[in-house]
Amino acid sequence: MAGEKIMVVVLLVLVIFLGIAVFLFYVERRLSVSEKKLKQLEAKQKKQEKK
């Protein structure tokens, strides 16, 4: 019984931890997209300044 309980706790903690890891990967993906867009925007702004 105690063995079963600890297995449930381990699985629960693992699911929470892996959820956090997946969320971090998702955030990083979104950050990469934003960085790309910002670079394009900066390039555009520089072009306009030159004109």
Partner 1 sequence: MQNFRNNWWKIAGILLLVWVIAGGLLFDVPQLPVLHETIRNIYYHVGMWFGMIFILFAGLVFSIRYLLWNDPADDVKAYAAVLVGLLFGALGLLTGMIWAKFTWGSFWVNDPKLNGAVVGVLTYLAYVVLRGSVDDRDKKARLAAVYNVFAFVLFFIFIMIIPRLASASIHPGLDGNPALSTGDLAPEMRKVFFPAIAGWFIMAYWLFTVLYRTMRINLKIEEITENS
Burial of 44 (0-12, 13-18, 19+ CB in 10 A): exposed
Q: What percent of the residues of the chain are helix, what percent strand, and what percent coil, each to the nearest 5?
A: 95, 0, 5
Residue 27 within binding range of partner 1, rule CB under 8 A: yes
Q: Is position 26 an interface residue for partner 1 (rule: CB under 8 A)?
A: no
Of 19, 40, 41, 51, the one binding partner 1 by CB under 8 A: 41
Q: What residues make contact with partner 1 under the rule CB under 8 A?
A: 6, 9-10, 13-14, 17-18, 21, 24-25, 27-28, 31, 34-35, 38, 41-42, 45
